[in-house]
Structure 1
Amino acid sequence: GSEYEHVIVVLPPDGSPLLTRELLYTAVTRAKHSVTLICTASALTKAIETVTERGSGLIEALA
């Protein structure tokens, strides 16, 4: 993936369906040196706690 020296992450409000651990992980891991998070504490907590359920169908295909 792409990498950048410095990354600024603006998280949406804590009621947003876009607020997920995967979004936060992807944003943070793009930084080589520094990350600046712009968000509320509740939005950050919500992002950390919300894991996206993947629906690839692989389990069903292997059954």
Structure 2
Amino acid sequence: RIERSQHDNFEPAYAITIHKSQGSEFDHVLIVIPEKRALLTRELVYTALSRSRGSITLFVQEVRGEPLLETARSISSVLSRSTSLFEAPLADGERVIEPEKGIRVKSKIEYIIYRSLMKARSDGWLSFIYEKELPLPDAPPGLRVIKPDFTIETGG
């Protein structure tokens, strides 16, 4: 019980979850890391640490084994996705995207188009070739061959 004479020594404080704090900033942030680390991911730690404009206090429940940050680094909800959250993004040409064995396309949109064309091909609607070289004999030197992304042939 707090005596009435001590009321001036207290200030109200509020707590919210890390998820609720996304998009907000605070002068001081208190972060509680419990012994059970099942939900601890590198994205969650990043979000928690990046909410502070000033200082951060970490309360870490002692646990034997792998250190806190190593645990967070090893668990990620986005590493399996193709994102640039933790490293410089790859140019589309550096990424290996293979919609069909032995065929590598240059971008995600080409992959999507390729997969759609594969469906149409299997349904008997068309045939297609990826990056087929097409000659242009009347073009100026250096431009006598073009390589469109897709060459589509239909029965008609």
Runs of 4+ in 1 over 6 A off after TM superposition: none
Query: Match for residue 30 of structure 1?
Result: 51
Gaps of 5+ in 1: 57-61
| Larger RCO, structures 1/2 (Cα 8 Å, 6+ apart) | 1
The CA distance in 2 between the partners of 1:48 and 1:54, in whole Å, is: 10
CA positional deviation for 1:52: 1.1
> TM-score w.r.t. structure 1 length?
0.68
Answer 1 or 2: which has greater helix percent. Answer: 1
User: How well do the aligned residues superpose, as a CA RMSD in angstroms?
Assistant: 2.6
Gaps of 5+ in 2: 1-22, 82-108, 113-156
The CA distance in 1 between the partners of 2:32 and 2:58, in whole Å, is: 6
CA positional deviation for 1:46: 0.6
CA positional deviation for 1:11: 1.1
What fraction of aligned residue pairs are identical, expressed as a percent?
Answer: 39
> TM-score w.r.t. structure 2 length?
0.31
Query: Match for residue 18 of structure 2?
Result: none
